[in-house]
Structure 1
Amino acid sequence: MDSYTNSKIVREFKNTDDFVSGVVSRTYSLPFKWEGTNHLVYNGSLYYNKYQSNIIVKYSFETGSVLAQRALEFAGFHNMYAYSWGGFSDIDIMADELGMWVVYATNQNAGNVVISQIDPDTLHVLKTWNTEYSKRNAGESFMICGTLYITNSHMSGAKVYYAYSTKTSTYEYIDIPFHNQYFHISMLDYNARERALYAWNNGHQVIFNVTLFHVIKTEDDS
């Protein structure tokens, strides 16, 4: 996808090697322009934030048509509640092992991060969680197993700083150093199939492998 706003050309690559070499296998022209960098390819469709709106569009790569579009009620857009780097990153669409999610902010929640799980077919909101973490103070975020992780900056020295569990509706502040080699992250997403984080870092495409641990609590931990 060209640029972070006001464009509608999507390029497909067969594999990582072709991507690195710039060998395009197919090009798509979307019916509507997009805004931001936080879009999602999921089950053969592209989900993206429609330009200058809080509308999510579902576009089928197979048919080249829009399968659904729906406004995300009250969601800020067009840099109203972007991540700390700006770039019209108000609405972040993502997926993990538990389904499809969207992260955004509203006036009703004082500009703090809102998490909604949405139906990938209809784009209806299934359930919503309001957090107390300022969207503008977040560098980026990603979902793993129903927990939203937020970095405290998009620049060097960033940490994974905050975690909100949708399973328990609880949060905690954490301190996990995040290697930001090229000093400016403008996209960060988790790939559940490959268990890896994909980042766009100051013009560089970076992959972080993720190791997941299952914590077993004993009676002594309670």
Structure 2
Amino acid sequence: MKLCVIIPLCALITLTQQVPPQDQCVCDLTNSEKAFPHDKLSTVEDNASKCNSNITPKKTLELESLMLGLERRLPQLEKDLSVLERENDGELYGVLSLLVIENELTEIKQLMDKLNMTSLRHQHLTTDTTEQRLKRDLDQCKDEHHPTPHPTQPPQGICPHGKFVNITGPGVYTAGEYPGSYMYGAWGRDPKPAVGKENWYWLVMLTSSNVYSNYIRLYSSLSSLIVGVSVPGNVLIHSSNPTTNTVQGPNVVLYGDALYYNCYNKYDVCRFNLSTKTVTTMQLPEGTRFNSKGNFCRLDECYPYTDLDLATDESGVWVIYTTTQDFGNLVLSKVEEGEPPTLNQTWHTSVYKQAVTNTFMACGVLYATRYVSKEVEEIFYSFDTSTGVEKFDIGIFIRKMSPNIYSLNYSPVDQMLHAYCNSFMVSYKVLFE
């Protein structure tokens, strides 16, 4: 941090010139201002350093991991108790079952002790921080007579949240209504919802051959989606599945009360208006790969019919694809709303699509992931559309709950990343600086 202070010279010094008999010039310097508060600056730096060391994504992730562990242990304990009540023979089986339950109770207690200790530390930190912030706000209120109004929108090309630095979670992990039934799909929130639908969530499952779908399923809240109560239910694109202009592939998004997706058997983007129940299409450039010829892949497997990936961020809808003339490298285009939607500016990258497992957009930046292991996915690449700068060393890791992530959608509403993994719906918090 640099401190620049410009003070008129006349306010700082009183200069008196004397000429002694020996013709020597002597100057007396009198400082009329207070000494620089080095001690206060040192205290502020110490407080900032302590805050940075205490509040870290790693410690937030630790708390979330403990909560997730507790969530998983408790249902298993209930299940084991039910089995014991039904099948207890009063002899060896009962003794062994009680030992298993005793071990589970011990592990649950250890988790709760760790969780209580972590929460206690966070409470102390919150109390200290709140007191310091309240004192600072009171001082500012006392000293500032002419506050400067903040701009209503960030400058062009600047992310309103700051720099994307990490991912934590999962925050949501649910099989929803159909556990294990539909391996491929997508889910999320509408970044530009219709009035009354601000808290709604959507779900598209590939219900035919793990490739096609002909409807979108809506939920009035996140809790409704988790427990599997769909209101208002399904909105049909067409009664047949598949047929012209129904959904092909898992990479779909909802924006402005309209579903954007890869049209059946075409290299077009379809836009299904949920209000009017009409479909309009937008053709991508000649040579765009489709029908499972330009998929996302990992070393030993490709994800079928992932040729086109639709994405949303703070500015709207994007489409990520590849073409024969780009030799399989990722191409990114901005999609403009309308019926039909139109293709706006296009960017060409140098990352090979089959080396990528998924992509998403956040604040005008394209991010790409790759498979590391059954437990870990890495966000390794970014392309900034405002500067054209590519980076291959992002190094942000996603803790997976299932081996494969078949779709990944960023929600600018709450800065969450929604993943669909082997029929499970999982969400992660995107952390900005």
- The answer to whether the superposition gives a TM-score over 0.5 is yes
Structure with greater strand percent: 1
1:91 maps to 2:312: no
Task: Tell me the amino acid that sits aligned with residue 270 of structure 2.
Answer: V
Decide which of 223, 231, 234 is 1:27's aligned counterpart. 234
Deviations 1:134-153 (A, max 9, x none): 11110111101111110122
C-alpha contact (below 8 Å) 2:347/2:385 kept by paired residues: yes
Aligned counterpart for 2:413 among listed residues 193, 196, 213: 193
1:158 to 364, 372, 377: 377
The answer to whether the Cα contact below 8 Å between 1:5 and 1:33 also exists between their aligned partners in 2 is no
Q: Higher mean Cα deviation, 184-193 or 3-12?
A: 3-12
Structure 2 residue identity aligned to 1:5: V
* More contact order relative to length (CA 8 Å, sep ≥ 6): 2
State the partner residue of 1:217: none
How far apart, in 1, do the equivalents of 2:346 and 2:413 lie? Answer: 25
Counterpart of 2:415 in structure 1: which amino acid?
R
The match for 2:348 is: 130
1:166 offset after TM fit, Å?
0.6
Encode CA deviations 1:125-166: one digit per residue, 9 max, x unaligned.
111111111111101111011111101228533211111111
Q: 2:288 aligns with which of 58, 61, 75?
A: 75
Which residue is equivalent to 2:364?
Answer: 146
Q: Deviations over 1:148-200 (max 9, x none)?
A: 11012285332111111111111011211221221111111100111010001
Instruction: Count how many residue pairs are aligned between Structure 1 and Structure 2.
Output: 212
Provide the alpha-carbon RMSD of the alignment. 1.5
1:49-88 deviation per Cα after TM superposition (whole angstroms, max 9, x unaligned): 111111111111112122x211111321111111114220
Whether the 8 Å contact between 2:315 and 2:364 is mirrored in structure 1 is yes
Q: Quick one: percent identity of the two aligned structures?
A: 25
Tell me how far apart the structure 1 counterparts of residues 284 and 430 of structure 2 sit (CA, whole Å): 30
Q: Distance in 1 between matches of 2:236 and 2:304?
A: 21
User: What are the equivalent positions in structure 2 for 1:171-210 lying under 5 Å apart?
Assistant: 171-173=390-392, 174-210=394-430
1:168 aligned partner: 387
Using a 3 Å threshold, how does the CA distance of structure 1 residues 154 and 206 change in structure 2: closer, same or farther? Answer: farther
CA contact (8 A) 2:336 2:343 kept: yes
The alignment status of 1:108 with 2:325, answered yes or no, reads yes
- Rg: which structure is higher? 2
Counterpart CA distance in 2 for 1:86 and 1:158 is: 15
SS of the aligned residue for 2:428 comes to strand
Matched, 1:117 2:334: yes
Retained in 2: the 8 A contact 1:83–1:135?
yes
| Corresponding residue SS for 1:78 | coil
Separation of aligned partners in 2, 1:23 and 1:154: 35
- TM-score, structure 2 length as denominator? 0.47
Q: Which moved more, 1:51-60 or 1:188-197?
A: 51-60
Runs of 4+ residues deviating >6 angstroms: none
Is 1:39–1:46's contact at 8 Å kept on the other side of the alignment? yes
Q: Are 2:268 and 1:62 equivalent residues in the alignment?
A: no
Give the equivalent residue in structure 1 for 2:253: 40
- 1:13 and 1:143 map into 2 onto residues whose CA distance is 24
- Equivalent residue letter for 2:334: Q
Question: Secondary structure of the residue that 2:354 maps to in structure 1?
Answer: helix
Cα distance in structure 2, aligned partners of 1:195 and 1:15: 17
- Once the 2 structures are TM-superposed, how far is the Cα of residue 18 of structure 1 from its aligned partner? 1.3
| TM-score of the superposed pair, with normalisation by structure 1 | 0.90
Q: Counterparts of 2:275 and 2:220 in 1: how far apart (Å)?
A: 15
SS of the residue aligned with 2:406?
strand
How far does residue 2 in structure 1 lie from its aligned partner after superposition? Answer: 2.9
Q: How far apart, in 2, do the equivalents of 1:81 and 1:50 lie? A: 15
Aligned to 1:7: 213
- Structure number with the higher helix fraction is 2
Amino acid in structure 2 at the alignment position of 1:167: S
